[in-house]
Amino acid sequence: MSATIIDGKVFAAKVRGLVSESVAKLKAEHGIKPGLAVVLVGEDPASQVYVRSKGKMTVEVGMNSVEHKLNADTSEVDLLKLIDELNNDSSIHGILVQLPLPSHLNEDLVINSINPAKDVDGFHISNVGLLGTGQKSMVPCTPLGCLMMLRDYHGSLSGLNAVVVGRSNIVGKPMAQLLLGDSCTVTIAHSRTKDIQSVTRRADIVIAAVGRPEMVTGEWIKPGATVIDVGINRIDAPEKGEGKTRLVGDCDYVSCANVAGAITPVPGGVGPMTIACLLANTVTACCRAHRLTEPNGLTA
């Protein structure tokens, strides 16, 4: 294995350090404490783990964390009422509604009811449009984390061929916009792409965000390319014992690492960056709300 490992744990700790410094400065110089509200509807176990972890890290960087846990049968009217209250609460600078929502709730409607300035997920249609037209916006956390790691590793991304595998609204599409913003030549590949390996093999940067365990193998990768693995998939691991599981990415780590110049591991790659970027977005939203200078290095 020859690839450099891009350590998301170390990088995320650095980003959280920058966030902590900004939070301390906001308090000391302006008497402001940034606040993040997280709304969880229902009892999805994975979502509960994420929300707990978000709350813990929000407090660790010195911000206010507010959690709203609603029953799975909460009506759309009641959820929209809560969002309206949070939109109008000046102590709350960021609002995140954990997805997926129970099926009786219209996700688009709910997300688009968040004040775009407080939309720290960057999912609101206004933020999508602002990002797509190169204007200042709130940027989705996972792609922002990937961009930060790529900039840190490569310096300039200008002119590089980037292939994003996956076309989701949460990762694939905003990732492509961000890479275009940094002057990459960008291709979005997906499940219907013909001869996908010949497309990814031209890439200097491959971003895998398809949600399929170990789909991208070393044969897909140009020697020396940078591989960013967004996937987090739990698969059976009979080699560890009966009923045991392990986490893998969308890339087959061993074969990709044999060919790539650099690669993010799973776990410990993109994952930790997502929450770090959520905290970064909350500080950014707070600074913008108070018309204060935004800290460097925390936005796209």
Q: Give the one residue of 5, 66, 80, 99 binding ligand GUN; rule: CB under 6 A.
A: 99
Site for ligand GUN in 109-128 (CB under 6 A): 121
Rounded (5°) CA angle 224-229-233: 145
Ranges of beta strands (E only) in 21-160 are 35-41, 64-70, 94-97
Nearer to ligand GUN, 66 or 196 (CB): 66
Cα–Cα distance, 297 to 108 (Å, whole number): 30
Nearer to ligand GUN, 121 or 252 (CB): 121
Candidate segments 97-105, 131-139, 177-185, 289-297, binder of ligand GUN by CB under 6 A = 97-105
Q: How far is the CB of 52 from ligand GUN (least distance, A)?
A: 14
Cα–Cα distance, 138 to 174 (Å, whole number): 11
Instruction: Check the CA dihedral 248-11-154-283 and report its sign.
Output: positive
Out of 7, 84, 119, 121, which one is annotated catalytic?
Answer: 121
Q: Which residues pair with 4 in a beta bridge?
A: 262
Nearer to ligand GUN, 65 or 161 (CB): 65
Out of 54, 118, 173, 222, which one is annotated catalytic?
Answer: 54
Nearer to ligand GUN, 32 or 164 (CB): 164
Bond before 140 cis per omega within 30 degrees: no
58, containing H or E segment: helix 45-60
150, containing H or E segment: helix 141-154
Q: How many CB atoms lie within 10 A of CB 122?
A: 24
Active-site residue, 98 included: yes
Nearer to ligand GUN, 121 or 229 (CB): 121
Q: Give the one residue of 57, 97, 160, 206 binding ligand GUN; rule: CB under 6 A.
A: 97
Is there binding between residue 171 and ligand GUN (CB under 6 A)?
A: no
Out of 98, 118, 173, 252, which one is annotated catalytic?
Answer: 98
Site for ligand GUN in 135-154 (CB under 6 A): 141
Nearer to ligand GUN, 3 or 101 (CB): 101
Nearest to 205 by CA among 132, 258, 248, 264: 264
Q: Helix (H, G, I), strand (E, B), or coil: what is residue 269?
A: coil
Candidate segments 61-69, 91-99, 190-198, 233-241, binder of ligand GUN by CB under 6 A = 91-99
Candidate segments 70-78, 93-101, 125-133, 199-207, binder of ligand GUN by CB under 6 A = 93-101
Cα–Cα distance, 207 to 162 (Å, whole number): 8
Residue whose C-beta lies closest to ligand GUN:
99
Q: Which residue has the tokens 């930060």?
A: 148
Active-site residue, 54 included: yes
Which are the contacts of 293, defined by CB distance < 8 A and separation ≥ 6? Answer: 287
Which residues of this chain interact with ligand GUN, rule CB under 6 A? 96-99, 121, 141
Hey, which residues are catalytic here?
Answer: 54, 98, 121
